[in-house]
A and B are shown apart, each in its own frame.
Chain A
């Protein structure tokens, strides 16, 4: 089973507008694929916003959007690119921090190109982090500040955030190894 760790940076918080049409969009997407406990694929793409007029300035700032850099490095998002994403994700399990947010934006992107795809099941590293550390605040920045081995340097860039999802998943697996197999409850 392939584990698809991913994160997106976006132009805002709303993948869909009030009429069910795609609204804000992805500016950066990172994917790290693990299979059999090993990393087998890693990629990070910048997407040029096609509806920049809908963008929220603060979201662009947080996501590190820079028109000059994007003009040079952004990939052309086309049907073939989306189909490649389908191939990468198909049959895996998507893992991300507040993963429904990222998958929502991917669904909107696919909708933009009229491509139907049955998205794989999702695991949220927020849930895993709660189990591992029991923090009240499960924001990624808050976890970074409180966990040894994590840092806020380079945060809110898709690849760094994806690497941190891998870190949280590995910490969860480490905890599971140490955990007792049997828990007792009272009927």
Chain B
């Protein structure tokens, strides 16, 4: 998955589409002992939102690429 790819949310009934912007890492600032696991997810500009093109994060495994950017 590359920035600029058109992606689909597999978990959405209507198959909502968007433009993949990139990966976002949420750093875990409070690790338990030395076990630090950051959360990495995708950031997508959604195409179907009635309020315009909202950009939000989503689990990467819920996305499928439907059209690759050039």
A residues touching B (Cβ–Cβ < 8 Å)?
A: 1, 37, 93, 100, 121-124, 127, 131, 172-173, 176-177, 179-187
Q: How far is the CB of A157 from chain B (nearest CB, A)?
A: 25
Determine if A184 and B24 form an interchain contact, defined as CB atoms under 8 angstroms apart. Answer: yes
Is B16 a contact partner of A121 (Cβ separation < 8 A)? yes
Assess whether B62 is interfacial by the CB under 8 Å rule. Answer: no
Cα-based distance from A183 to B28 in the complex (angstroms): 14
CA distance A187 to B57 in the complex (A): 13
Residue of A nearest to B69 (CB): A173
Q: Choose one: B29, B47, B55, B70; the contact of A37 (CB below 8 Å).
A: B70
How extensive is the interface on chain B, given as a class? 20 to 34
Interface of chain A, main secondary structure: mixed
- Chain B positions within 8 Å of A, measured between CB atoms, are 2-4, 6, 16-17, 19, 21-29, 38-40, 43, 45, 47-48, 52-53, 55, 66-67, 69-70
Q: Are B70 and A183 in contact (CB under 8 A)?
A: no
C-alpha gap A93/B4 in the complex (Å): 14
A93 to B70, CA, bound (A): 16
Q: Is the beta-carbon distance between B17 and A121 smaller than 8 angstroms? A: yes
Q: How far is the CB of B25 from chain A (nearest CB, A)?
A: 5
Q: Smallest Cβ distance from A126 to chain B, in angstroms?
A: 8
The 8 A-B pairs with the shortest beta carbon distances in the complex, nearest first, are A1-B67, A176-B4, A176-B3, A121-B47, A127-B53, A187-B26, A37-B70, A121-B48
CB distance from B23 to the nearest CB of A (A): 5
